[in-house]
Structure 1
Amino acid sequence: SLTADSHHNQSQILWVSHNGGPFSRARFPTSLHGLDYYIADASEDQVFACVNHNATLTHLYISDASGTNFSLSLERVVYFNPKGALKDTWLRYFADESFADIHRVDGLRGIYIASQLANGTLDPDRQVTLITYDKGGMWERINAPYQDSEGNHTHCYRFMDCSLHLTQRLQQLYPRSRTAEILSKASAPGLIMATGVTNVTSSLRDHLPNIYLTTDAGANWKEVLKGQHFYNFGDHGGLIVAVRQYEMTNEILYSWNEGESWEVLIFGPEKIRVYGVLTEPGEHTTIFSVFGSRSPIHSWLIIKVNLTFVFNNIACRGDDYKEWTPSDPTEGHGRGCLLGRKVVYNRRRAHAKCLNGNDFDRPIRQENCLCLRADFECDFGFRLQYGWAPRSSNCLYDATSGVDVHRVPTICPEGGTYFRTKGYRKVPGDTCQGGDEARYGPDRLFCPVGVKPEFLLYTRRTVVQRYILGDNTTETIALPHLSNTIALEYDYKGNCIFWADISEDYIKRMCLNGSDTAEVLAEGRLESVEGLALDWTSENLYFVDAGRRVIEVMKTDGRFRRVLIDGSHNQIIPHSNSKVLDKPRAIVADPAHGSIYWTDWSTEHPQIVRAWMNGDPESIQRIVYSTLYVKWPNGLTIDAQASKLYWADAYLDHIQYSDLDGRNVHTVVSGRRYAPHPYSIAVYKNDIYWTDWMLQGILAADKTTGAGLRYIKSDLPRIMDLKIFSKSSQA
């Protein structure tokens, strides 16, 4: 159950009780006030809530399974409240009840159709219709049909900012249109009928509405009738009827082949003005009721129309049916799944002229699907950033939400575990299994044991320092005999520092447990160790020796040292003409996915390369190699929470990130003002940190947008490697 109470600034607070439990305050990731709440839908284990933020602005939010933590689903939805939103507009003369133009497609899980105000103001001629197949996780415009019912090309394409708009309650009330609303029924899965307008590049004005039908749950639409009509389904969707609006008529149109052709039946000698067409609940029969009135003197009439004769009493048999599976057309994989489940229906073939009948029981079978991006929505505190393709969109931290997505739960006992979001949550009710579940699902982390500081660790060749995050203090770590320390690593659990000195040609470790003795882990057969990477799960230390062109690995105590990848013989990466190792620089480990990554300054083929942690030659793969992105790739790090790879390039003067496979590259910071020679980078919570030789300091900015760029430390000559460590960085 839900209730709201008043708060300051005329705002309201929404309270939610889940499964009869105590009321909890609903949380919305926005700094805007909630002036009014409207529950648009509360089915399928989630709540769609319209939240009115000012006189004309209403956003749609979707809850988690508890109904208390909401994420933004869609901005600027059409919502009216006679005592609140849009109450001072023309709608107050035609509507006395609240409504939102959001249609749940009956009988199919997760599909909704919504109307969005194009410019945020109530203009019925400037709207756009959007459809979602994952319960509001992602919305897309509806593609207009290529031609109309008369065979004329519509010339309406998405790349022209043109799509199909379907009318709902707003235009049913609008005096200039008075159209019928969207029709979908559980008895006719996949069939949706609506009044709509195409050629709506900028405005609906001057475009006459027509009738549109989809038989595949909104993936493809066709215009089936010109002009405005009332319509309904019968015989489990096997029969469609329509009657013209606003005209005196005695004709009813019917189609038995899913709108491909229409036939006319005269239902009486007298023409009447029709106000609707009804059938029995369940849409099982072929009997319809037309209700209207005589004119000019108003007098109600109800006329029963029996269309059983259309099928000549021929009952459908096995060959008259086909299997049909609803699917999300934006996935592009053709897997035939909705909310992680493949459901197969038996439907009558469009050209089978036979009767389903009252007793028709539609066979259904279902199975779970592998998890993909479509099975996840943005978690609380994150919002969708649309990409070049529907499923390339990512959930990014919403800095305006005020939510600390990295916070450890208040109750988290030592030895216990908690879940840390990656920005996604599986849609409640989604039953997918395996697949990309590990990629988008939360990380399971151990609760912190004791209190350790969260800090930056950096080297200035002859000194290693630690900058404590939070209290902004700096301390020098007393490491012995530093001469030219280039690379650093740290074991958070063991409280041990690893460093490589290219002048002395060794790798050492010292644990900060009161000892002042450093252990030599590797010496001899070293020329220029420029990068260290720790796999804390298996206690392996990886390092890049640029002088010998090798990547080696050893245990954190120096045992079992061996060459993992050898580039000294000019080996070529499979399926390329690039050397495995030419001028390697930085290295980073990704234990969660069993991979290592390294950068290479190769003059001919600069690149970022990925391989399995065991160095399998067949696993070596170039993932970033365009000279638009890398020329002198220096720093390299992984944002484990967001599953992103970040790098800094000292020639191109930028910091960029991509997916872990190198796709979907984005620029965070660029230009000689803030990145004239970036060297090392690290990610901490919502920020990216980097060292820069020319600026002689440590800088930071938002890891996604580059906003909030600032100096963390300045006046740091000879600044080199940088790492960030916290209680969750090696969990």
Structure 2
Amino acid sequence: MRRVCLVSAEGGGSSMGHLGCLVLLIAPLFILQICGEEWCNKDEFTCRSSRCISTKLLCNGVDDCGDGSDEDSCQNCTSGVFSCGPSDGCLLKDKVCDGRADCTNKRDESRELCGSDQPAAQTAPTCPPSEFQCGNGECIRHMWRCDNTPDCSDGSDEQDCNQNECLVNNGCCSHHCVDLPMGFLCQCPDDMKLVDDSLCEEVDVCLERDVCDQLCVHSSHSITCDCHEGYHPGSTTGACTAEGDEAQLVLTTSKGIQLMSLFGTDHETLAPHLPGRGPVAAVTSNRTLYWAQQGQNFIYRISLDKEPQEAVLVQKVRGSVSGLAVDWIHRLLYWTSPDQGSVNAALMDGSPEHPLITGLDEPSAVAVEPLQGFVFWTQCGSAPKIERASLDGHGRTALVTSSLNQPVAITLDIPRQLLYWFDQGARSISRVTFEGRHRKTVVESNGYLDRVFGLAVFEGYLYWSEEVTRSICRANKHDGKNLQVLLSDIPSVGGVAIIQPVLQPNGPAACGRPGTLCPHTCLIDLQPERLRFRCASTETRSNKPQTPGISVPASTFSVLTFAGILSLIIFLSVLLLGVVLWLCRRLQPSRASSALSFSLKDSQDPLISQESHSCTRTFLIEDLLLKVDLDSD
């Protein structure tokens, strides 16, 4: 900016001229301050005194501005604790320059602070917020920190225990952190409970009391239980019993596929020519089983209503099959492959397989909820977890990541929207909501939970196959009580599935992703690179897809409802037209019938016949309703 100072030629005006020049020089500074423009560079901090300092000097415990403004907005880190910056947390001194970037801005490993010889900064902590990260990168539960027992292999969980851990990122507590003489404690408000040692979640009274098999309404300190359509209240409070045919349990063994009652009283071998245990899934509408032998890469289909039961090869897949599930709405198969480290999908009647989720570490089981549009899977590798995604593989979300060892079996309680899994390392069965909340261990080690292969849930019970005792067992799905051994001495028992139509209710297709309902049809394109769902319009449905696929009606109810509304609109319109014509005839009786015929003949409404008008008013409504029915068909 050029500044020009005009000085008076008279000597007396010289001082005034210099003063005016000084004003002109300083004025832009005040203007910039008033207008909110930054006078300092982008990598500098503007002090209240208008001094510019490097942003690297912020929150270093030194008053570099001279007015303290560079330290005012910092975290209130106590002596011996390092501040990461204005919007970040505090670190213990031993975390600074340790080769691991703990601050979001990596300030604790900066060259200015640590010099040029510090070890290369490692990536940010990989442990979830609910766990403590050891100095060597291991993850342990927060409650094990400073408990006088080293749980980290390097003993770092017992270091600096005389510090106030609550000053460092609130101890990783989501709400309240209470410092103790040794360690700290996370606490929650009265209407919340503590989970994973550090997180608080709202209390769900229905799931806490856990007395309803399905629907639960909590009001006025009381709970009311109810059942979904297809079930009726049982003899006990909160129980729901399925209507229709008696449910049956299918299991795979080394001697073939067997079918038994849920009470274990009757059982028979269906396909002795298909020996070998493995995962099994059922389509209840046509009583069809899909089965894969453990360690093999073949998926077969068997109909229970055909004699004899002949196996049809549906898929020869890449890698072995560890888990198998069916999407009865979109007619798809989902399976996990530990060899490929993936969750895959294909059509039930056979099509090239499509990797849905890849890069997994020993995936072990899979389950599908097509009404909500979810696929769930487990992996048992170095970082065990249970995850969820949409049916097309998008929206991947981790549901369970902590206190998990070997989740080898999984099943869904669709009426309650709960996911159950068996952890072989903990020898227990636990459950969680589809959003990953309200976790609860239901069945703990009881002598029949050493090595579970298959898991299923129906009505008020959990059913599982146990390899060590070679048995089929069941227990209450709420608290694990009423353990029953339904069948024993089974040769190499494998997967289990329950057949009852109510388990797979009809409904609109989610079309790949939760909340995506198509007004007409859901098309499934089996593209080589990805399974793809898309909604098709009326015009699209008339053209066949260019890639192999199927179409699924989005909702029969919506189509019928639209036809009914259209019929009602047409009926009322015709009725109104008839009333108007009748009034016209009454008000103008001298008008000839030929004038009425002319008026109808010239009408632009395609629903009004342009022929033989003498019968039009008599049969018009009946013809219109017939046309609507034909159009609907």
Coarse TM-score class (shorter-chain normalised): 0.3 to 0.5
Higher strand proportion, which one? Answer: 1
Normalising by structure 2, what TM-score?
Answer: 0.43
Higher-Rg structure is 2
Please state which structure has a larger fraction of its residues in helix. Answer: 2
TM value normalised by structure 1: 0.38
